[in-house]
Amino acid sequence: MTLIVESGYEFWNPIIWLITFAVVMVIVYFFRKRGEAKYKKGEDQTQIFLCGEEVPVAEQRHVRGGNAYWGFFETLKEYYDGIVRLHTGVVNDYVVWFVAVTAISAIILLIAELVR
């Protein structure tokens, strides 16, 4: 019985990883303690600074889920147009996909048998 996972190539031991992580965190904490600590909570020092502009209210400044990764979706627009079109939400189409997979798998097995 062992505490590690061996894949054949190498091993994974979470305990070693955690110890390493803890050491790194201690080092990070050491540097953080060197930083400037003289600020007063609740004053202008801790308020959001937006190039001198007025800070919008919470609803307006929060990045919503629908706005995330805009560039990613624009780059892959053609892929998404196609893949979303396939997800019709119509249960008849789901059954068609089942029939298609069954038929394709059967043909592949048949060809494999003929080749063999």
What is the binding site for other proteins (CB under 8 A)? 1-5, 7-10, 12, 14-15, 17-18, 21, 57-59, 61-66, 68-69, 72-73, 76, 79-80, 83-84, 86-89, 91, 93-95, 97-98, 100-102, 105-106, 108-110, 112-113, 116
Evaluated on CA atoms 85, 91, 92, 94, the torsion sign reads positive
Tell me whether residue 31 or residue 70 sits nearer to other proteins (CB atom).
70
The nearest distance, CB 23 to other proteins, in angstroms, is 14
Minimal distance in Å, beta carbon 87 to other proteins?
6
Q: How far is the CB of 49 from other proteins (least distance, A)?
A: 15
Residue 39 to residue 73: CA distance in whole angstroms: 41
Closer CB to other proteins, 48 or 51, in the complex: 48
* Dihedral of alpha carbons 32, 33, 38, 43, sign: positive
87 alpha carbon, distance to own chain's centre:
22
Q: In whole angstroms, give the CA distance from residue 55 to residue 114.
A: 71
